[in-house]
Structure 1
Amino acid sequence: MAMHLPSGRSRGRRAPMADINVTPLVDVMLVLLIIFMVTAPLLTAGVPVNLPDSRAKPLDQEKQPTEISLDEQGRIFIAKEEMSFDTLSARLDAIAAAAQGSEPPQVYLRADRKLDYGQVMRVMGELNRAGLNRVALVTVGED
């Protein structure tokens, strides 16, 4: 029986290796998975931001949106008409009922930067309760 023993004559002639070594690929993927698992919770932590300034481009609109504004004193305006927080709920229900069967209208929410965050969230909660979920926060663009 003959055996093939490596000799000095066949150094330059090797058979091609047909196996793929996937161990380094698996190692890199596991390290990336661990990195993403560790950093993902850190991305949701509170970061100090100045919300009223934005570099976002304006939205293209086909229909006229509903504009809700909150001034520095916390007064609520719907399309330049002042109303109390108690009457806001009924007015938002009427807006949502007018759009029944079609897509809910886009709502632009403008709030003064000095206003308490809780007051803005109360208005957003009423919008959500009325079913007006297409809300865009209006900011001032940076030049």
Structure 2
Amino acid sequence: MNVQEDNEPYDDINVVPMLDLAFVLLVIFIIMTTATVQGIMVNLPKASATPSIGKSETKAITITAEGTIYLDTYPVTMEQLETSLQQHTAVNPDLPVVVKGDSAIQYQAVVDVLDLLGRLEITQIGLVTQKLVK
């Protein structure tokens, strides 16, 4: 048993408060890192001017270089995309949709998505590009 006399100095350090601080900092770092992740990364084609769409209820359709289609951040098939968009347009007939296609994908994949949007009578469509740097 380690009994301390009143006048003797401590020979060990209490590390519990330091560990508490380390764990709190670790949790804050994890939360901040996952909060900054937004959407799916794709290599966008370049354009000279990019109009901005600032509506919060805008749906984003992303097509990756591998051909995977995402609605917002969830991977979907064309059938699932059609069903989901039908449900959203039933609530909001003027649903704005933006299409982000990787510059390496085949043009047909974007045309298929645009054709689907046309069949669903979605007229507010935007194509996302990067600003051309001169």
Q: TM-score range by the shorter chain?
A: 0.5 to 0.7
CA offset digits 1:56-75 (Å, max 9, x no partner): 14325244311110001111
Of residues 43, 51, 56, the one that matches 2:49 is 56
Instruction: Please name the residue that 1:116 is paired with.
Output: 106
Instruction: Provide the TM-score with structure 1 as the length reference.
Output: 0.58
Q: Which runs of 5+ in 1 are unaligned?
A: 1-50
CA offset digits 1:111-136 (Å, max 9, x no partner): 01111111111111111111211111
Instruction: Please name the residue that 1:132 is paired with.
Output: 122
1:85 CA drift (Å): 1.4
- Measured on the aligned residues, the alpha-carbon RMSD in Å equals 1.7
- Identical-residue share of aligned pairs (%): 22
Q: Which runs of 5+ in 2 are unaligned?
A: 1-43
Change in 2 beyond 3 A, CA 1:116/1:57: closer
Query: Secondary structure of the residue that 1:128 maps to in structure 2?
Result: helix
Instruction: Provide the TM-score with structure 2 as the length reference.
Output: 0.61
Aligned residues: 90
Look at both structures and tell me which one has the larger radius of gyration over its CA atoms. Answer: 1
Of residues 53, 60, 74, the one that matches 2:67 is 74
Segments of 4+ in structure 1 off by > 6 A? none
Query: Secondary structure of the residue that 2:98 maps to in structure 1?
Result: strand
CA distance in 2, matches of 1:58, 1:118: 24
